[in-house]
Amino acid sequence: MLLLLPLALAAGCHRASPPPPASVDPASTAPEAPNQAAEPVIITEPGQPRYVGASTFEPARAAATIPVFAAKADLSNLVNREALSGFGAKHRDLLAANGFVAMPVADETLESVYLRNAADKLPSLLTSDALLCAFDRLADSVRARLEQADLPALLTATVLTLTERCTAQLAAAPSPNLKDAARRNTACFAVAASLLGVPVRVEAGAGAMAQAELALLKAGARAHSEVFGEEIDYALYRPGTGDSRQVRYDAACQWLGLAGWHADAEQPRATRMLLLLIHALGTPPDRALRQMEALADTRHYLVGAEPARLAPAFSAAAAVYSAKRRLADYDDMDRLRAVAKRLRQPLVLLPRPARLDDRVLTALSPASPSGLPSGLLVMQALGQSRAEWLAGTGYAVGAKLPAYAEALRRLRDELAAVDPRRWESDLAHGRLWASAPLDRRPTAGWPAWQQSAAWADKSLLTMLAVWSASRHRPDGAEPGVTVTASTPSTNVPPSYVEPAPDVYARLAQLAQALSIGLRGHGLLDADAETQTDRFTTLCLLAKRLSETELRNESLNAVDLKRLAGIGAELATIGADEDRLARPTMATAVAALGGTKLWEAVGPVQVVYAVVPDRGKLYVARGALLSYHEFTAPALNDTAWRGLVADGTAPGQPEWAASYLLANPFRPGLPTAKAAPFPPPALGAPTPSPPPPSPR
């Protein structure tokens, strides 16, 4: 008997009513020929991950040879010092002391700063912040497009195919034990189809199991799974609100990542379910296997999910069974035990995100000040040198909280065992990995401002902003802003690139891997290809110019003209119909009772830095990200932007005062906090901290 599984408990059921069931052609869900018990099939094997860059773009390692340069106390040796008109004495003094000074501005995007430079004929300082922000926008835009169209369609096709094949296995199974295993697999994919908004026809017993499982998802508590026959924490299922394809796709992915198929010598039913799944995936034509590989591989790269481990499961089965298999082969207890002996890890089709920084947050929360781990402590755990000094010596967190010191020690031992390649294997970790070279303290031969303690503070805050942005899920309703390019002056100013060749090389590698992986899985559309190629080219340009500057060579006229128009180029990265997502965003990373800890990227900042060109010194203007941390019960991006706009947003951490001052023209924009940071209970840090030691 076949049962039409309705959508009574589809995606978003916690918060929104699902749409009515869609009609389905009965022929499209009819079982395949039920002769699989008699005729063996040749099982196809999985392929290799596709999201791997072809090049590491390793920077040149020649010693930096930039002569020492500095602005005079009165700035009289800056050729274009008139660009600083309106600056107060504090701004001028900080610029002379550090070689740079920053302030918040009203620009809604970093690109706007560079477009204003072109209009004002002001030298541009292309910052690592600008390219890190552009990559974040590129990754988010590619992910959003995929999750709104291609990936939901691919997952729907895969789920329907697997539902058909499992239903056919159920009809053809030669024993009650195999029928039970096939029924459970059928129910699993019927649940996924329902969450995707696609009704399917399944056997009555499988339909009843699926309905019971959907009820457990709705309840959201730890319970015994009707499908998998084991306890599952359904509280981990947290679908988004609304009824978009992206929300339904995410709900189905969460379900298929909630539990796994595993081989167990003491539970032959679980082993049969696993073997029948492998059989269904690998049965020719192999479209289901290739589609599932594309889905799992892409989810791993986009959101930092664990690998699906299809290959080990298939290998374990292949070691026990021949390539030609019948369903009846899976009733042999000796071979079931042999598979269980070979396969120790479960097969999860679409694993949940497994970010290393989630592990940091979880490990540090109980022992952290106020029970909420600040971003500073996360960076300390990850080994950021300035964070280590501030948290370890400046605030003496470990000395004041011995339990925290012990939790940090255990956590670092755990992180030390992680394969370093993990950090560059996906976009969730890759953004932090790309920014990590900012923590390498430049020495003699680099620009003087990069050697300063203030720049170390700025680099820490850039890394914190990148971390915050990497955890953020963009609001699909955010329309973005339009940026208008101006015509660059024919009199090209002497612009400069922040020397950070390792950062630019890593960003290029991540973008290239994204393009290669999407192309390999047939998911790369023309727009994504154009934007990833364009971004890779920009990163390699910044890398090359950084290396030129570090050799103390002047940039040529062609490169200077390119930098003069860099704002227009950056504005094409991640753009949606000429509109750019604003970097101003807030993300909750931890909660304690009704209070949440928010990490936010605030208003755009401009940096004015002294740069050399052909024996003269100029002041160049670039764009920076800002980072904010605060507690609040509830917030979204719109509310956070409102706080920024009306001047009530909390400032940046107090150590930002080493380089950040109020905007003399917009004093309401947030700068550095006056209160101690982390929480006041720890007291203020040691005054006038020395610069961190070179790394």
**Amino acid 477: pLDDT:** 61
**Amino acid 53: pLDDT:** 76
As a three-state string, the secondary structure of 439-502 is: HCCCCCCCCHHHHCHHHHHHHHHHHHHHHHHHCCCCCCCCCCEECCCCCCCCCCCCCEECCCHH
User: Which helix (H) or strand (E) is 386 found in, with range?
Assistant: helix 385-389
Contact between 607 and 117 (Cβ < 8 Å): no
Q: What length does the chain have?
A: 695
**Is the four-CA dihedral 472, 474, 480, 486 of positive or negative sign?**
positive
**Amino acid 634: pLDDT:** 86
**Residue 687 burial class via C-beta count within 10 angstroms: exposed 0-12, middle 13-18, buried 19 and up:** exposed
**Amino acid 593: pLDDT:** 82
pLDDT under 70 in the chain at which residues? Answer: 1-39, 475-478, 485-490, 674-695
The two three-digit tokens of residue 681, written as one number:
């209970």
Interatomic CA distance for residues 370 and 331, integer angstroms: 56
Interatomic CA distance for residues 474 and 315, integer angstroms: 39
As a three-state string, the secondary structure of 508-569 is: HHHHHHHHHHHHHCCCCCHHHHHHHHHHHHHHHHHHHHHHHHHCCCCCCHHHHHHHHCHHHH
**Amino acid 527: pLDDT:** 93
Angstrom CA distances, 664 to 85, 455, 660, 668, stand at 11, 22, 12, 9
Interatomic CA distance for residues 130 and 136, integer angstroms: 10
**Amino acid 38: pLDDT:** 54
**Amino acid 674: pLDDT:** 53
Interatomic CA distance for residues 346 and 562, integer angstroms: 52
The two three-digit tokens of residue 265, written as one number:
């010598």
**Residue 132 burial class via C-beta count within 10 angstroms: exposed 0-12, middle 13-18, buried 19 and up:** buried
User: Which helix (H) or strand (E) is 104 found in, with range?
Assistant: strand 100-104
Interatomic CA distance for residues 294 and 114, integer angstroms: 38
**Amino acid 171: pLDDT:** 96
Cross-strand pairs, 628: 600
Q: What is the pTM of this model?
A: 0.91
480 contact partners, CB below 8 Å, separation of at least 6: 576, 579, 580, 581, 582
**Amino acid 214: pLDDT:** 96
Please name the amino acid found at residue 182: A
602 contact partners, CB below 8 Å, separation of at least 6: 104, 584, 626, 627, 628, 644, 649, 652, 670
Name the phi and psi angles at 622, rounded to 5.
Answer: -135, -175
